[in-house]
């Protein structure tokens, strides 16, 4: 394996481990004079950073733009470029033609569980079983380690409000804050609202959430629109009582948000579909 290919594959594996999106670019056809051969690869991140090269210059700049676009829409593409005359808009003058395959790589969604108590432990285990990349965080080391819960993808011991400094929270990161109470939440929620998480859930009763909202509005100057991003009380209403039942209700809500579901019983969904026919 060429050294540059090894670098690309290692970066690709690291991106997968970290739940980081990236697009793999491969030259699949090359004719004439070109700086790189068929099979040359480059990995492109959403911010335009790259590992490897497909030749540099204006060609590479255009391909990076295409790769970033592919990451946004999730669609592969096979662009072709002529490198004959820059005055005709070509990205080079080598004299060749190159076709590439740009593949946006799917990212395993991350479940970030903040709080390793009874519910957090059950949710982390359930999330892993359901195929999520699971990261557990707690400020108590004894509740956040591989002996306490084995097989997770990350264990982060830190104050809850510091979690965005230690974990990359992306549009594929679903956050379940199963914390110990209001003093933690008033510092944690503003930090989470600064991220791109599509789901932020907070455990607790309606009264606890009302008290937390009031404190956040007064102390942190957050408005109603910002706080509407928070799913609280967390989970779907299934009259859950035990930690495992609560974990099921939380994960069900996360899946509903991720897949665009309604949370209604399938019976009602089927009846509504029948009426529309």
Per-residue pLDDT averaged across 136-162, rounded?
Answer: 97
- pLDDT of amino acid 3: 65
Partners of 177 in beta bridges? 114, 202
Of 78, 80, 83, 34, give the one whose Cα is nearest residue 58.
Answer: 83
Tell me: pLDDT of 239 over 50: yes
pLDDT at 90 over 60: no
**Does residue 95 register a pLDDT over 60?**
no
pLDDT at residue 5 in the model: 84
> Looking at residue 87, what is its pLDDT?
43
Q: Which of 85-89, 120-124, 235-239 has the lowest mean pLDDT?
A: 85-89
Selected from 2.60.120.10, 3.40.710.10, 3.40.50.720, 2.40.180.10, the CATH number assigned to the domain covering 110-259 reads 3.40.50.720
With CA atoms as reference, report the closest residue to 91 among 55, 52, 39, 40. 55
In the predicted model, is pLDDT for residue 91 greater than 90? no
Map residue 148 onto helix, strand or coil: coil
Task: Enumerate the domain spans of the chain.
Answer: 3-105, 110-259
Q: Using one digit for the tens of pLDDT, what is the confidence trace for 4-52?
A: 789 999 999 998 888 888 999 999 998 876 777 889 999 999 999 999 9
pLDDT digits (tens, 9 = 90+) for 50-59: 999 888 787 8
85 versus 227: the higher-pLDDT residue is 227
Host H or E run for residue 196: none
pLDDT of res. 93:
47
Per-residue model confidence as pLDDT tens digits over 248-267 = 999 999 999 999 999 988 88
CA distance 35 to 84: 13
Q: Which uninterrupted H or E stretch holds 191?
A: helix 182-193
In eight-state DSSP terms, residue 233 is S
Residue 98: its pLDDT value, please?
A: 85
The 8-class DSSP code of residue 108 comes to P
47-56, 78-87, 114-123, 268-277: which has the highest mean pLDDT?
A: 114-123
Contact at 8 Å (CB) between 198 and 258?
yes
Inform me whether the pLDDT recorded for 245 exceeds 70.
yes
What's the DSSP call for residue 152? -
Determine the distance from the C-alpha atom of residue 38 to the mean position of all C-alpha atoms in its chain, rounded to a whole number: 32
pLDDT at 183 over 60: yes
Q: What is the pLDDT of residue 274?
A: 61
| pLDDT (0 to 100) of residue 92 | 47
Mean pLDDT of the chain: 88
Residue 88's pLDDT band (cuts 50, 70, 90)? very low
Is the model more confident about 37 or about 143?
A: 143
Taking only the tens place, the pLDDT of each residue in 189-203 is: 999 999 999 999 999
CA atoms within 13 A on the CB side of 211: 10
pLDDT at 89 over 50: no
pTM: 0.78
CA angle 74/75/79 to nearest 5° reads: 135
H or E segment to which residue 67 belongs: helix 57-73
Helices then strands, each counted (H, E), the chain: 9, 11
* Model confidence at 165: pLDDT above 90: yes
Higher pLDDT, 208 or 94: 208
Query: How is residue 43 written in tokens?
Result: 């990995």
Q: Give the whole-angstrom CA distance, residue 154 versus residue 118.
A: 18
pLDDT at 272: 59
């Amino acid at each position: 394996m060429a050294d540059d290919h090894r670098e690309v594959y290692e970066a690709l594996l690291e991106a997968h481990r970290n739940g980081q999106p990236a697009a793999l670019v491969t030259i699949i056809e090359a004719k004439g004079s070109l700086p790189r051969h068929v099979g040359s690869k480059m990995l492109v991140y959403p911010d335009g950073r790259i590992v490897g090269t497909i030749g540099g210059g204006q060609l590479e700049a255009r391909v990076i733009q295409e790769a970033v676009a592919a990451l946004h829409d999730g669609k592969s593409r096979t662009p072709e470029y002529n490198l004959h005359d820059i005055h005709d808009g070509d990205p080079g003058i080598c004299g060749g033609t190159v076709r590439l395959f740009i593949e946006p790589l799917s990212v395993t969604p991350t479940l970030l569980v903040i709080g390793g108590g009874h519910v957090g432990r059950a949710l982390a285990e359930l999330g892993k079983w359901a195929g999520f990349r699971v990261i557990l965080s707690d400020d108590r080391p004894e509740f956040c380690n591989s002996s306490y819960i084995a097989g997770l993808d990350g264990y982060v011991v830190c104050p809850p409000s510091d979690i965005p400094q230690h974990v990359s929270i992306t549009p594929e990161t679903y956050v379940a804050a199963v914390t110990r109470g209001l003093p933690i939440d008033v510092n944690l929620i503003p930090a989470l609202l600064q991220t791109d998480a599509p789901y932020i859930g907070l455990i607790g009763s309606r009264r606890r959430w009302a008290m937390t909202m009031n404190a956040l509005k007064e102390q942190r100057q957050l408005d109603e629109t910002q706080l509407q991003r928070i799913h609280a009380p967390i989970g779907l209403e299934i009259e859950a009582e035990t930690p495992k039942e609560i974990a099921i209700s939380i994960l069900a809500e996360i899946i509903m948000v991720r897949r665009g579901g309604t949370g209604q019983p399938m019976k009602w969904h089927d009846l509504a579909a029948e009426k529309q026919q």
